């Protein structure tokens, strides 16, 4: 059975660098709080009108180029995103057509922060079974569409207007402050290929899901349980903005990430000393520090970029991989652990020999 190897990666982020100070002008927050509680220092926002697939196409082009694979070879596209360009269809067909790929199977998955790991397992399963030989997997998000800001607020954030915004807008924006400060826009893609080299490739992915805590992190409005599925009243209530019980999610994330990382290492007879690199979902630096401490992973084996990009949901892990690979931190034969937790709730871990 062939094993799946990542043969190329590429990324693209929103073009506007947004500091914590810029956000403090439009909502009740400050640089010290955001750094201390989350580790985020900056994030990047797209311009209005730039979509998830706009970033994803650039990331995918770079990944394909970096892999040296011809576009005709790609025989499956998987798109992981919770912020697709349209309610339907998903972004995978947009990638297929905009990249000029053949008329191959294209599908979207919706596992939020664990989307990339769910995508990796799907890609791996297709490759192992012989259904696909060369898979493009794109994790991409434009979160700014969720942000309930007025045109004036956007102008102040982007420095086109010195402010201040109205007291009413400031109060409205501040209602969502615990969530809005965490997220940024970004995309990253990988190309996977089947190889017969027994000692390289994805070793195992363990995935878990449990819907009972769905309401700890979800978007309460704009869904097909409503008739019509969207309405001005929902927007007036702010039901289009994700609801997040930060403390509950923090607790679940630390528990589940430690559990699943331990399980994937145990099942494969691997210990922390065998790992070369650890890529953890970038939701909160404190979550990752807690997990690393409990798993006994030394700092030098972990890379992070939450301080620059914030949480880019499905793009966090491939972004880390792409940066590490370009910095020469991924060498053939290295054992890499990836671990993530997110809305759903979903969580998972992958062991991969580069």
Interaction site with ligand UT7 (CB under 6 A): 29, 33-34, 37-38, 113, 177-178, 181, 217, 246-247, 249-250, 253, 283-284, 287, 311, 342
| Residue facing ligand UT7 at closest CB distance | 246
- Minimum CB distance to ligand UT7, residue 163 (Å): 18
Residue (76 or 285) nearer to ligand UT7, CB: 285
Contact between 169 and 150 under an 8 Å Cβ cutoff? The reply is yes
Residue (106 or 279) nearer to ligand UT7, CB: 279
- Minimum CB distance to ligand UT7, residue 271 (Å): 27
79 membership: H or E segment, kind and range: strand 76-80
Residue (3 or 256) nearer to ligand UT7, CB: 256
Residue (252 or 330) nearer to ligand UT7, CB: 252
Residue (283 or 352) nearer to ligand UT7, CB: 283
Q: Which long-range contacts (CB under 8 A, 24 or more apart) does 24-28 make?
A: 25/156, 25/157, 25/163, 25/164, 25/165, 26/149, 26/153, 26/156, 26/157, 26/163, 26/165, 26/169, 26/170, 26/173, 27/170, 27/173, 27/174, 27/176, 27/177, 27/180, 27/181, 28/170, 28/174, 28/177
- Minimum CB distance to ligand UT7, residue 159 (Å): 20
State CA 182 to chain mean position distance. Answer: 12
Phi–psi pair at 227, nearest 5 degrees: -130, 110
Number of C-beta neighbours around residue 212 at 10 A: 7
- Minimum CB distance to ligand UT7, residue 120 (Å): 17
- Minimum CB distance to ligand UT7, residue 204 (Å): 23
Report the catalytic residues: 113, 281, 311
How far apart (Å, rounded) are the C-alpha atoms in residues 347 and 259?
10
């Amino acid at each position: 059975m062939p094993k799946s190897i990542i043969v190329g990666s590429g990324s693209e982020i929103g073009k506007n660098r947004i500091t914590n100070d810029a956000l403090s002008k439009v909502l009740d927050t400050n640089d010290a709080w955001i750094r201390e509680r989350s580790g985020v220092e900056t994030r990047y926002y797209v311009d209005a009108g730039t979509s998830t697939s706009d970033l994803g196409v650039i990331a995918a082009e770079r990944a394909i180029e970096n892999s040296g694979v011809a576009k005709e070879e790609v025989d499956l596209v998987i798109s992981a995103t919770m912020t697709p360009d349209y309610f339907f269809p998903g972004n995978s067909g947009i990638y297929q057509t905009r990249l000029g790929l053949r008329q191959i199977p294209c599908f979207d998955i919706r596992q939020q922060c664990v989307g990339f790991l769910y995508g990796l397992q799907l890609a791996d399963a297709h490759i192992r079974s012989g259904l696909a030989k060369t898979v493009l997997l794109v994790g991409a998000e434009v979160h700014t569409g969720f942000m309930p800001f007025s045109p004036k607020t956007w102008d102040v954030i982007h420095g086109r207007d010195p402010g201040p915004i109205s007291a009413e807008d400031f109060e409205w924006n501040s209602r969502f402050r615990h969530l809005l400060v965490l997220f940024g826009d970004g995309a990253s893609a990988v190309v996977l290929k089947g190889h017969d080299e027994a000692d390289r490739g994805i070793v195992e992915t363990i995935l878990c899901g449990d819907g009972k805590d769905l309401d700890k992190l979800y978007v309460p409005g704009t869904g097909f349980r409503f008739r019509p599925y969207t309405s001005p009243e929902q927007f007036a209530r702010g039901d289009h903005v994700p609801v997040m019980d930060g403390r509950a999610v923090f607790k679940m994330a630390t528990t589940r990430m430690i559990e699943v990382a331990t399980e994937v290492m145990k099942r494969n007879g691997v210990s922390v000393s065998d790992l070369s690199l650890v890529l953890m979902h970038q939701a909160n630096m404190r979550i990752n520090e807690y997990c690393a401490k409990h798993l006994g992973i030394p700092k030098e084996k972990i890379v992070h970029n939450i301080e620059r990009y914030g949480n880019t949901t499905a793009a966090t892990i491939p972004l880390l991989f792409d940066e590490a690979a370009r910095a020469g931190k991924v060498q053939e034969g290295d054992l890499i652990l990836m671990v993530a937790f997110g809305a759903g709730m979903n969580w998972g871990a992958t062991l991969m020999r580069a």
